[in-house]
Amino acid sequence: MFLWRRRSQPVEFLVFGLGNPGLDYVRTRHNIGWWVVDELARQVGVDRSDGRHRGQVDYCRVADVPAALIKPTTFMNRSGQCVRPWLLEYPDAAWVVVADDISMAPGKLRLRRRGSSGGHRGLANITDVVRSEDFMRLKVGVGEPPPGVDAAEWVLEPPTAAEEDVLAGATTRAAEVLKLVAAGQFEAAQQLTGKAV
């Protein structure tokens, strides 16, 4: 009798695109992290896909680096439950989190090596779980809610048609930024976002 055993996949670069699972959330502002991961996968091609550690994962090569592009299937405020097991499995891998940001204009990008959650519940949960703010994050601006609109409601709505066009361009640029990060060119990646911080 032969027992099939999954062969360990070499991974040196992890990208976590934050979002919420379910068809109701796919095209919402809060799921821009998923959009970026999908765009990067489209650009580089995918070797294999599966579901692991409470996430959907595409294995590929980014800038010739073995990578896993991960969409946590926990809800946003439990993103750390997906991130932690990946970090335990690949403790030497570089990793970056992609998330939406309501404090920036739609389509604006910001890449940092560390920072606070800025009130983002996904980033806050990851910070709590890994007990550190020292991780790379790429934020994609989705714009501020209009006066009188609750921020939580705003991010769970789809962008307008005009905003979606801008965000589509931003996801393409974000994928290019992530390629530079994978290649170890962090400063060049920051310059591509339009703001080196």
Q: Does a structural domain hold residue 8?
A: no
* Whole-angstrom distance, CA of residue 72 vs CA of residue 53: 8
* Whole-angstrom distance, CA of residue 184 vs CA of residue 124: 26
Output Rg (C-alpha) for the chain, integer angstroms. Answer: 16
Active site amino acids: 30
Q: Please tell me the number of Cα atoms within 13 Å of 130 on its side-chain side.
A: 24
Q: What is the pLDDT along the chain (197 residues), one digit of tens a residue?
A: 434 334 456 899 999 999 999 898 989 999 999 999 999 999 999 988 888 888 899 999 999 999 999 999 999 889 999 999 999 999 999 999 999 999 999 999 999 999 887 878 889 999 999 999 999 999 999 999 989 888 888 889 899 999 999 999 999 999 999 999 999 999 999 999 974 33
Which domain does 113 fall in, by range? 13-193
Q: Does a structural domain hold residue 73?
A: yes
Q: Does a structural domain hold residue 157?
A: yes
DSSP letter assigned to residue 13 = E
CATH of the domain at 168: 3.40.50.1470
Q: Does a structural domain hold residue 144?
A: yes
> What's the structural domain count of the chain?
1
Q: Does a structural domain hold residue 7?
A: no
* Whole-angstrom distance, CA of residue 34 vs CA of residue 158: 14
Q: Does a structural domain hold residue 5?
A: no
Q: So what's the pLDDT on residue 8? A: 58
Measured in whole angstroms, the distance separating CA 97 from the mean position of its chain's CA atoms is 4
Q: So what's the pLDDT on residue 3? A: 41
